[in-house]
């Protein structure tokens, strides 16, 4: 780590957290593209977030908050600003009349939190096993998989408001959760640095019916343990078969969002014989299905392979630039629109 900032930085702002200059965004995001970021600051306490914000303000540099980079894309021009990463650690579990309150600091690896909960027989997040990234990012896009989303069990989050530099608690009701959305990635994007996340979990297990792929996998393998740990094992096995592990294959997970439909679009889709699903938030068509039926499954476009087993995932096989990603994206979005008349929307955010 390079701590050799100009001495004036230390005189003015006592920047003592881990600060690195000129970091390739491709090295801190799982899609592995993106140019140089001017500074990356890793914070271990809330007061360090304030110091980093004051530092950025003094030099009039923009701030981008990053976690594990599993849902974030870097651009070729890099980022002439400060990337802030939460490295605060710690988990506490308390029994309360409603169940178990689990508070995890935002720098914890999300899957470790799921493991802790499952090991104690707590239900609520077991289907969110193996989602890459840090806990602080989990509420941002309301992570979801196999019939659960974090909004189901989230009680509150502790944040540092970058505008006022004060700590606040935001309750679930304040966060406006819906499919891959919250206040944190819509109306208040970039305003709150998530310090910790508090969940309310219960002893027990998920109630039936389970998500189709869980039912099918369990039936095929003759499994009947649907305890939190049992579901964790099933979900982990399904994911290992279908999704690229970011340690070995560069991707940002689902690159496109499922398509949510208005009343009128639903009618249009049904007339065309497209599979419309009733989701928690409304009617949708699976983006992977559209991409597959538009003929992209397994194809390599500008260095990105459209994953055969989950076509909404793009795997970076050989691309080194954002320009290549933009070209691949344009081909897929255009192809799906030409065939079905629906525009696909990108899920990962871009550092800008």
Ligand X SMILES: Cc1cc2nc3c(=O)[nH]c(=O)nc-3n(C[C@H](O)[C@H](O)[C@H](O)COP(=O)(O)OP(=O)(O)OC[C@H]3O[C@@H](n4cnc5c(N)ncnc54)[C@H](O)[C@@H]3O)c2cc1C
The residues annotated as belonging to the active site are 180, 254, 347
Q: With beta carbons less than 8 A apart as the criterion, state whether 194 and 139 touch.
A: yes
- The answer to whether 143 contacts ligand X (rule: CB under 6 A) is yes
Q: With contacts defined by CB under 6 A, how many residues of the chain interact with ligand X?
A: 35
Three-state DSSP at 144 gives strand
Interface with ligand X (CB under 6 A), residue from 41, 50, 56, 66: 66
Q: Measured between alpha carbons, how far is residue 71 from residues 26, 28, 68 in Å?
A: 13, 11, 8
Nearest to ligand X of 190, 282 (CB atom): 190
d(CA 64, CA 40): 9
- The answer to whether 34 contacts ligand X (rule: CB under 6 A) is no
Q: How far is the CB of 254 from ligand X (least distance, A)?
A: 6
- The answer to whether 312 contacts ligand X (rule: CB under 6 A) is no
320, two tokens? 């080194």
Q: With beta carbons less than 8 A apart as the criterion, state whether 12 and 58 touch.
A: yes
Span from 1-9, 43-51, 132-140, 320-328 in contact with ligand X (CB under 6 A): 132-140
Nearest to ligand X of 12, 240 (CB atom): 240
Nearest to ligand X of 147, 266 (CB atom): 147
Helical residues (DSSP H) of the chain, grouped into ranges: 7-13, 46-58, 110-119, 212-221, 228-242, 263-271, 287-293, 322-340
Taking residues 167 to 206 in sequence order and writing x for each that binds ligand X by CB under 6 A, - otherwise, the string is: -----------------xx------xxx------------
Q: How far is the CB of 121 from ligand X (least distance, A)?
A: 23
Return the biggest CA–CA distance within the chain.
68
Span from 114-122, 140-148, 200-208, 318-326 in contact with ligand X (CB under 6 A): 140-148
Question: What is the number of other CB atoms lying within 10 angstroms of the CB of residue 302?
Answer: 17
d(CA 191, CA 196): 15
318, two tokens? 């050989």
- The answer to whether 72 contacts ligand X (rule: CB under 6 A) is yes
3-state per-residue secondary structure call for 291-303: HHHCCCCCCEECC
Q: How far is the CB of 34 from ligand X (least distance, A)?
A: 12
- The answer to whether 145 contacts ligand X (rule: CB under 6 A) is yes
Interface with ligand X (CB under 6 A), residue from 46, 246, 303, 335: 246
- The answer to whether 251 contacts ligand X (rule: CB under 6 A) is yes
- Count of residues making up the chain: 352
d(CA 65, CA 177): 20
Nearest to ligand X of 267, 345 (CB atom): 345
Interface with ligand X (CB under 6 A), residue from 34, 46, 69, 335: 69
Interface with ligand X (CB under 6 A), residue from 243, 306, 314, 319: 243
Q: How far apart are the first and last CA of the chain?
A: 24
- The answer to whether 25 contacts ligand X (rule: CB under 6 A) is no
- HSE toward the beta carbon, residue 329, CA cutoff 13 A: 18
Q: Which residues bind ligand X (CB under 6 A)?
A: 30, 65-72, 86, 106, 131-134, 136-138, 140-141, 143-145, 184-185, 192-194, 243-244, 246, 251-253, 349
């Amino acid at each position: 780590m390079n701590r050799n900032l100009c001495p004036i930085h230390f005189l003015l702002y006592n920047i003592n957290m881990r600060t690195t200059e000129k970091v390739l965004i491709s090295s801190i995001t799982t899609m592995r593209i993106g140019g140089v970021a001017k500074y990356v600051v890793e914070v271990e306490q809330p007061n360090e977030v304030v110091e980093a914000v004051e530092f950025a303000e003094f030099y009039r540099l923009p701030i981008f908050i990053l976690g594990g980079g599993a849902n974030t894309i870097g651009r070729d021009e890099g980022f002439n600003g400060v990337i802030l990463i939460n490295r605060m650690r710690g988990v506490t579990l308390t029994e309360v009349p409603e169940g178990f309150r689990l508070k995890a600091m935002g720098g914890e690896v999300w899957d470790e939190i799921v493991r802790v909960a499952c090991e104690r027989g707590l239900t609520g997040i077991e289907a969110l096993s193996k989602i890459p990234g840090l806990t602080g990012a989990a509420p941002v896009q309301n992570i979801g998989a196999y019939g659960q989303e974090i909004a189901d069990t989230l009680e509150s989050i502790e944040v540092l408001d970058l505008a006022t530099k004060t700590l606040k608690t935001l309750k679930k009701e304040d966060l406006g959760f819906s499919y891959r959305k919250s206040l944190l990635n819509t109306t208040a994007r970039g305003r709150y640095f998530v310090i910790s996340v508090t969940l309310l979990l219960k002893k027990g297990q998920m109630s039936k019916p389970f998500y189709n792929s869980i039912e099918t996998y369990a039936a095929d393998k003759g499994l009947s343990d649907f305890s939190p740990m049992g579901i964790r094992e099933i979900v982990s096995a399904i994911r290992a078969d279908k999704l690229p592990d970011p340690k070995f294959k560069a991707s940002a997970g689902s690159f496109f969002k499922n398509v949510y439909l208005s009343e009128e679009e639903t009618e249009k889709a049904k007339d065309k014989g497209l599979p419309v699903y009733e989701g928690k938030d409304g009617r949708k068509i699976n983006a992977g299905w559209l991409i597959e039926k538009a003929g992209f499954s397994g194809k390599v476009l500008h260095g990105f392979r459209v994953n055969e087993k989950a076509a909404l995932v793009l795997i970076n096989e050989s691309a080194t630039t954002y320009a290549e990603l933009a070209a691949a994206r344009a081909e897929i979005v255009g192809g799906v629109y030409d065939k079905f008349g629906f525009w696909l929307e990108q899920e990962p955010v871009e550092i800008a």
